[in-house]
């Protein structure tokens, strides 16, 4: 039988143990910097899985070097299943329950915009890694959102500049009927007309995302008799358009400028069916000889036994962004990180990247070239690296775009 004194001693000892355990848990938690990461892993794995591998490699390398400010980075990753509502609920959980220092990620434009609005409402830093909608940094931009990947406007401008060098004057467009597609067509038209005022656009096709009726789309494009086609479809829609268009001879004797088609995520699945001679933005990872890029490729291959894709590079640069911002801020204090993000510059496998203070868009660029088929697979040839800084509107024009917010 336990005496009152013994019971008191046990109770006191148990309380002390609980306090010590709780303190130890808090101390361990304090040793990491939590990053909330959200993406459409199950909805579009072809891009998001390489993206995940990219940020995993970066986190591993950063932590092996001692982390940031002496603390390890800890990524708490969630799948939004391609639904904006899910993404917002996850963001709320990551901020309220997990106490993350910031949010990062998203792929689809409508999901990126939903989290952009959440960041504004909850006043939390959000690094929009992949969504391309111009609205994220312009009409819907806010003090808390920064975008890494070269935007729809930037990549469309890259293609428009090359298209302006061609004799083609009659153009048609085909793009998915949502924010990204609409932004791309608007930007391409604007920049091409500015560079070559005598061009005209004779047809527009707007298939639903991932639901293209390739036969009807190709027939409509052919009927317009364009000299050039601007394509914004990707993934399965791109494959269907390429196959149907090739069967019907749509691309014969016509120039095609195609957004993202040179990215391994979309070019590799086409294999020998890849189109030849298209002007594209993409990532010729097999042929880039820059030493920093090669070191990155070697590390990626060693860890995953495969070559990186565009998503891999975006994921990797996302974590480089976060580490550089926290290091510059000297803290995970929100206001200090926000200040650090404005004008933040860091070195990456794709070159130096800077976040413009005027609109929070990074200057990460893309590669522009032509498509070709070699050894039964699509590749990019005659390519060059287009620095994102060269394809952004002026500070004055950007201020006007954000003023509509």
Q: What is the DSSP string of 140-161?
A: T--TTEEE-SPPHHHHHHHHHH
- pLDDT at residue 405 in the model: 59
- CA distances in angstroms from 187 to 87, 115, 295, listed in the order given: 28, 23, 35
Residue intervals in the chain for CATH 3.40.50.2300:
29-151+290-365, 153-288+367-391
Instruction: Give pTM, 2 decimals.
Output: 0.90
- pLDDT at residue 21 in the model: 40
CA 267/CA 263 separation, integer angstroms: 6
Domain boundaries 153-288+367-391, CATH class: alpha beta
Residue 86 burial by CB count (10 A; 0-12/13-18/19+): exposed, middle or buried? middle
- The string of pLDDT tens digits covering residues 299-320 is 999 999 999 999 999 999 999 9
Q: Is 297 left (phi over 0), alpha (psi -120 to 50) or beta?
A: alpha
- pLDDT at residue 279 in the model: 98
- The string of pLDDT tens digits covering residues 221-278 is 999 999 999 999 998 999 999 999 999 999 999 999 999 999 999 999 999 999 999 9
- pLDDT at residue 30 in the model: 61
Profile the chain (405 residues) by mean pLDDT over runs of 10 residues: 46 43 43 97 94 98 98 98 97 98 96 97 98 94 97 97 98 94 95 98 96 98 98 95 97 97 95 97 95 97 98 98 98 98 97 97 98 96 97 90 72
> Is the domain covering 29-151+290-365 a CATH 3.40.50.720 domain?
no
């Amino acid at each position: 039988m336990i005496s009152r004194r013994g019971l008191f001693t046990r109770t006191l000892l148990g309380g002390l143990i609980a306090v010590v355990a709780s303190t130890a848990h808090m101390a361990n938690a304090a040793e990491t910097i939590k990053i909330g990461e959200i993406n459409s892993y199950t909805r579009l794995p072809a891009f998001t899985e390489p993206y995940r591998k990219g940020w995993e490699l970066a986190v591993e390398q950063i932590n092996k070097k001692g982390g940031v400010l002496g603390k390890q980075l800890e990524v708490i990753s969630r799948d939004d299943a391609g639904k904006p509502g899910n993404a917002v609920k996850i963001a709320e959980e990551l901020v309220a329950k997990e106490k993350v220092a910031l949010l990062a990620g998203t792929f689809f434009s409508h999901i990126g915009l939903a989290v952009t609005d959440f960041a504004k409402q909850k006043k939390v830093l959000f690094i929009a890694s992949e969504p391309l909608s111009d609205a994220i940094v312009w009409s819907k931009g806010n003090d808390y959102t920064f975008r890494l990947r070269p935007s729809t406007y930037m990549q469309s401008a890259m293609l428009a500049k090359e298209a302006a060098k061609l004799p083609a004057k009659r153009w048609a467009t085909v793009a998915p009927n949502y924010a990204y597609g609409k932004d791309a067509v608007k930007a391409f038209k604007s920049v091409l007309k500015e560079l070559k005022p005598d061009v005209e656009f004779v047809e527009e096709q707007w298939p639903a995302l991932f639901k293209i009726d390739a036969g009807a789309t190709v027939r409509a494009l052919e009927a317009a008799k364009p000299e050039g086609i601007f394509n914004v479809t990707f993934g399965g829609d791109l494959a269907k358009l390429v196959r149907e268009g090739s069967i019907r001879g749509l691309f014969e004797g016509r120039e095609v400028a195609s957004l993202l088609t040179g990215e391994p995520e979309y070019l590799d699945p086409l294999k020998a069916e890849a189109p030849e001679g298209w002007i594209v933005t993409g990532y010729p990872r097999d042929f880039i000889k820059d030493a920093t890029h090669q070191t990155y490729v070697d590390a990626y291959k060693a860890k995953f036994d495969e070559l990186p894709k565009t998503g891999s590079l975006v994921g990797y640069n996302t974590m480089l962004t976060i580490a550089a911002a926290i290091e510059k801020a000297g803290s995970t204090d929100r206001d200090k990180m926000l200040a650090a993000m404005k004008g933040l510059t860091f070195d990456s496998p794709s070159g130096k990247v800077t976040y413009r203070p005027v609109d929070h868009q990074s200057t990460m660029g893309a590669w522009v070239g032509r498509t070709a088929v070699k050894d039964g697979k699509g590749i990019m040839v005659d390519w060059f690296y287009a620095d994102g800084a060269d394809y952004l509107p002026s500070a004055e024009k950007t201020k006007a775009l954000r003023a509509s917010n």
